[in-house]
Amino acid sequence: MLARHAESLFWAGRHIERAESTARLLDVTYHTHLEAMAGSETASWHDLLKILHVDLAFSESERILKADVVSEFLVFDPSNPGTIRSNVTQARENLRAVRELISTEMWEAVNAFHLRLSARDLSDDVRGEPHELYAMVRTQCQALAGVASETMPRDECWNFLSLGWMLERSVMTLRLLLVRYSQLVSAGATGGFHHWVSTLKSASGSEAFRRRYRASMDPADVVAFLLMARDFPRSVLFGLQAAEKALSWIDGTSSPNTRPQRLLGRLRADVEFLDVRELLSGDLSVYLDMVEHDIRQVAESIETTYFRSTDETALHVLDPTMVWR
């Protein structure tokens, strides 16, 4: 398979997942404040920016930290390359580049999504009642996942798409946990019920969590659930396992012999066999930082291994002595 096609699919997956996560985080943050909960409103909007890794870009732009400004910044502001709108546009552009390799249904689904989003007055949505917009984005992203799963053969295309999709998901859940947890630590509290509920909701996990743990809202359970639940599709571990499966298909062997496979395998095992209580007795955020760093390393090694093969990099490094000879 052409490296460029693989790269497009990988990024299409990442952008779709990113759009969905952004919409869900916005929705949860918005509704948390409708319910007039305790806690500072500005703090939670700042958390949101931090989870999405755009807190610096936002503060540098000298915008005011309040609901509608942050929402605009994350939904359609052209100065932010990571808005919902631009993620959907880029997912579509990436899939357009592999139009011949994906199913017609998949193309039509992403195209229709893009057109629906373009047809809306997003500024109106954000200032009015944004829930409908966020729900639409979430449903459409989930529809894309369904269409992909029901129409694409489990070939290299599928595996690169799902690799990007799943890695992005792990990062998003991880950052959610990281930011939410650090905030508690800095506030010197273990966090109230509502804090953890909204964290779970941000990962679509409150119902699944409740079924498993009933009345408990022990932070250790929440961390264990979001980090390493084997069967919850938005846990960090679930994403890592799915990505690992895709990678091993791509390499056509179960023995981990490429750098991405080795890095990912080690990381997955580490997360899989964690002792959460032990972890919580130390500094969880240090650990979470490390996991995030490792996931990014996996992504970089995927880039160099599959998208820019190393012999080609060597090709473009000119021997300076050659020039003078």
Q: Which residues touch 246 (CB under 8 Å, ≥6 apart)?
A: 159, 160, 162, 163, 166
Least distance to other proteins, CB of residue 322, Å: 14
40 φ, ψ (degrees, to nearest 5):
-80, 135
**By CB under 8 A, is residue 99 in contact with other proteins?**
yes
Which member of 40, 104, 254, 321 binds other proteins (CB under 8 A)? 104
Contact 25, 75 (CB under 8 A): no
Q: What is the DSSP letter of 189?
A: S
Cα distance between residue 242 and residue 169, in whole Å: 10
Which member of 17, 47, 77, 156 binds other proteins (CB under 8 A)? 156
Both tokens assigned to 224 = 């264990």
Closer by beta carbon to other proteins, 213 or else 307: 307
Q: Which residues touch 171 (CB under 8 Å, ≥6 apart)?
A: 292, 295, 296
Q: Name the region of 53 (left: φ>0; alpha: ψ -120 to 50; beta: rest).
A: left
Closer by beta carbon to other proteins, 7 or else 20: 7
Least distance to other proteins, CB of residue 97, Å: 7
Candidates 46-54, 115-123, 173-181, 303-311: pick the segment binding other proteins (CB under 8 A).
303-311
**By CB under 8 A, is residue 97 in contact with other proteins?**
yes
Which member of 3, 115, 189, 290 binds other proteins (CB under 8 A)? 3
**By CB under 8 A, is residue 160 in contact with other proteins?**
yes
CB-neighbour burial class of residue 55 (10 A; exposed 0-12, middle 13-18, buried 19+): middle
Both tokens assigned to 152 = 């694409």
Cα distance between residue 39 and residue 80, in whole Å: 27
**By CB under 8 A, is residue 2 in contact with other proteins?**
yes
Within 10 angstroms of residue 211's Cβ, the number of other Cβ atoms is 8
**By CB under 8 A, is residue 1 in contact with other proteins?**
yes
Closer by beta carbon to other proteins, 79 or else 309: 309
Nearest to 170 by CA among 241, 256, 259, 231: 241
Closer by beta carbon to other proteins, 137 or else 163: 163
**By CB under 8 A, is residue 309 in contact with other proteins?**
yes
**By CB under 8 A, is residue 312 in contact with other proteins?**
yes
**By CB under 8 A, is residue 96 in contact with other proteins?**
yes
Closer by beta carbon to other proteins, 181 or else 306: 306
Candidates 93-101, 178-186, 214-222, 293-301: pick the segment binding other proteins (CB under 8 A).
93-101
Least distance to other proteins, CB of residue 251, Å: 9
Closer by beta carbon to other proteins, 99 or else 293: 99
Cα-based angle 49, 120, 97 (whole degrees, multiple of 5): 75
In the three-class reduction of DSSP (H, G, I as helix; E, B as strand; rest coil), residue 102 is classed as coil
**By CB under 8 A, is residue 125 in contact with other proteins?**
no
Site residues (CB under 8 A) for other proteins?
A: 1-4, 6, 96-97, 99-100, 104, 156, 160, 250, 306-309, 311-312, 315
